[in-house]
Amino acid sequence: MNVRRNMEHSAGVISRTGISHRLLAELAISQVGGEAVHSGSRKVLLHHMNANELEFSTTLRFPVSDRYRLSFRLKLGEKSIILEGIVASRVKQGNLYLYELRIAGSSISRTDWIRGLNEWLLQHQPALPEHKVHYLYRN
């Protein structure tokens, strides 16, 4: 069961793997109603990521809907990755919107995405012992 929510007037946000090192991505609209579209892109700040979801903020306001997909181009280390997903929630925070995106596709395999994410997290969380990367996903 997929639950979509618009939490614009709510303070609660589901926690994800925190990114202490700032990571920017290029955001574009890739599909509307199942049809591919070409749109301009905008840089957005990623706040949290895991294998299935990411959280980002922007001044752009997107509806919480599965009728369209957003595309993210980001760089994890030396790898350039494109992720596509569906907006699952939106929270208004000042003049920004904080979004939760459910990842629906990637330019690399899921295994490579998880491996790349874990390597990136280990590089940017130096106080964390290498064998304990899974603790980042618990909070």
* pTM listed for this prediction: 0.72
Identify whether the C-beta of residue 139 lies closer than 8 Å to the C-beta of residue 15: yes
Query: Does the pLDDT at position 87 exceed 70?
Result: yes
Euclidean distance between the first and final Cα of the chain, in Å?
A: 23
pLDDT for 120 equals 78
Better-scored residue on pLDDT, 137 or 63: 63
Question: For the segment 91-138, what is each residue's pLDDT rounded down to a tens digit?
Answer: 999 999 999 999 998 888 888 888 888 887 777 665 655 555 555 555
**CATH class of the 19-137 domain in this structure:** mainly beta
Better-scored residue on pLDDT, 71 or 49: 71
pLDDT for 16 equals 42
Identify whether the C-beta of residue 39 lies closer than 8 Å to the C-beta of residue 29: yes
Q: Which pair of structure tokens corresponds to residue 46?
A: 């990623």
Q: Which of the given ranges, 1-10, 81-90, 119-128, has the highest pLDDT on average?
A: 81-90
